Chain A
Amino acid sequence: MALDKPYQDIPGTIIFDAEQSRKGYWLNQFCMSLMKADNRARFKVDQRAYLNEWPMSEDQRQAVIDMDLNRAMQLGGNIYFLAKIGATHGRSFQQMAGSMTGMTEEEYRAMMLAGGRSAEGNRYIGEDGDAQAHRQPQGQQPTVGGKKD
């Protein structure tokens, strides 16, 4: 019998379950390697060469180079792991989160200061909230690949 996954009907949200985890094992383990300063330095010198040391898919490597976090998550990445790539590049978590919605850092920060993104219209796929696919990307920041989940 199929497992119950009620979280699949929430817009703009990928839950990191066992299936995603299997898909993203090496991508996420690569991220863990960036907890060592030496590895961060080597990665920054030549990202491609460093990524080639890991048995990741080409799509996963490209998503890392593009810093396309939505794509990386579709390919099994988890945000807590992917955050280490951002930290390596000196980006804040707020910048990273904003980048996934198409917003600039300023736009995202302003939204948070105004009380954050409302749950209204964003609980189920098919509603009309600002996290729904037909209203994304929502900000001024060009998105990598122009693609949103």
Chain B
Amino acid sequence: MAKITASVFTSHVPAIGAAIDLGKTQEDYWKPLFAGYDFSKQWMKDNKPDVIFLVFNDHATAFSLDMIPTFAIGTAAEYTPADEGFGPRPVPKVQGHPDLASHIAHSVIQQDFDLTIVNKMDVDHGLTVPLSLMCGEKDPVKDSWPCPVIPFAVNVVQYPVPSGQRCFNLGKAIRKAVESYDEDLNVHIWGTGGMSHQLQGARAGLINREWDNAWMDQMIADPAACAATPHIDYVREAGSEGIELVMWLIARGAMSDVPYDATDLEAARAHSVSVKHRFYHVPASNTAVGHLILENN
């Protein structure tokens, strides 16, 4: 049986990718940020998954205004890094896991979540920057990412966007789907994007350190309550692009201490999670960076 053993949460800023690709990680500006991921790179080596289920948002790359799926799961064999307007990042292609991805799509759709199935998609910094942060720099020709990745794109660009509650419930459905897959696979689920940031208008540059940290505290300790955070709170407190944080709740909902049935107190008591790593830093270009690693006990 496949099993989700850990969840990883991280911001996914394009400038972080550029800093890695241009060899700037040890410059004064970037050094404190990358130091926050030293533990994580070692943890990845010590806890190498068989598959990463990576929740991210497409930033007007694979999906234009022609098509805007709320939730899209990649079932392809591979994904090419996208040209976001300044040429593609020099990183390896991402290998998919078509069989597990199709299984998850089947199971999750039958649990009443309408996923869009995607067999061709270039992946932008939303997906490749978390991989670089967690796995370190990779040569696009000689190296590969450590394992297959199932990309899962969430629309947080055009409103209406899904609520935190819906994302949290979707995470539960994904865990159920993974656990019904016959092959023994160690799966990590990553929720990426966030923390507070606003990229537009006169309010550009908004950072709310207190709110970010309080939100992280609650997401760890009481995720069901955190999932009830209304959209307007994210926008008002964490900036217009802070809404990306709803994607963290997909990964959080997939952890074993979240009972599928919220009234099942016995199931809730039977499981717990450990915080293996926590990091917060301001700024990376326009945003606050948050990062967490949780393991199922």
Chain A residues at the B interface, C-beta cutoff of 8 Å: 6-7, 10-18, 21, 24-25, 28-29, 31-32, 34-37, 40, 69-70, 73, 78-81, 83-84, 86-88, 90, 92-94, 96-98, 100-101, 108, 111-113, 115-119, 122-124, 131-133, 136-138, 148-149
- B158 contacts A79, C-beta separation under 8 Å: no
Contacting pair B202 A100 (CB below 8 A): yes
Q: Name A74's closest neighbour in chain B (CB-CB).
A: B201
Do A93 and B286 contact each other (CB < 8 Å), given the known contacts A28-B64, A101-B205?
Answer: yes
B82 at the interface (CB under 8 A from A): yes
When distances are taken between beta carbons in the complex, the residues of chain A under 8 Å from B14 are 93
Interface 0/1 of B267-284, CB less than 8 Å to A: 000000000000000110
Q: Judge whether B60 and A32 touch: CB under 8 Å.
A: yes
Residue of B nearest to A111 (CB): B205
Tell me if A28 and B199 are in contact (CB < 8 A).
no
Chain B residues, CB < 8 A from A11: 202-203
Q: Which residues B24-73 have CB closer than 8 A to chain A?
A: 59-61, 64-66
- Nearest opposing residue in chain B for A7, CB measure: B235
What separation, in Å, do the CA atoms of A10 and B135 have in the docked complex? 39
Once A87-B86, A131-B202 are accepted as A-B contacts, the answer to whether A7 and B65 lie under 8 Å apart by CB is no
What are 21 sample pairs from A and B whose C-beta atoms fall under 8 A apart? A7-B235, A7-B236, A12-B202, A13-B203, A16-B158, A17-B159, A24-B65, A35-B85, A36-B83, A37-B87, A78-B158, A80-B157, A83-B84, A84-B84, A108-B204, A112-B286, A115-B207, A116-B288, A117-B205, A131-B206, A137-B202
Hey, which chain A residues are within 8 Å of B159, CB to CB? 15-18
Residue B211 at the A interface, CB < 8 A?
yes
Interface of B is mostly: loop
**B209 adjacent to chain A (CB < 8 Å):** yes
Q: Is B160 an interface residue (CB 8 A)?
A: yes
**What's the Cα separation between A115 and B211 when bound, in Å?**
13
Residue of A13, A87, A124 touching B201 (CB-CB under 8 A): A13
- Using Cβ atoms and an 8 Å threshold, which residues of chain A touch B208? 118-119
Which residues of B, 209-236, contact A by the 8 Å Cβ criterion? 209, 211, 231-232, 235-236
Residue contact B237 to A123, C-beta cutoff 8 Å? yes
For A37, the chain B residues whose CB sits under 8 A away are: 83, 87
Taking CB as reference atom, which chain A residue is nearest B159?
Answer: A17
Partner of B235, one of A10, A35, A108, A136: A10
Q: Which residues of B contact A137 (CB under 8 A)?
A: 202
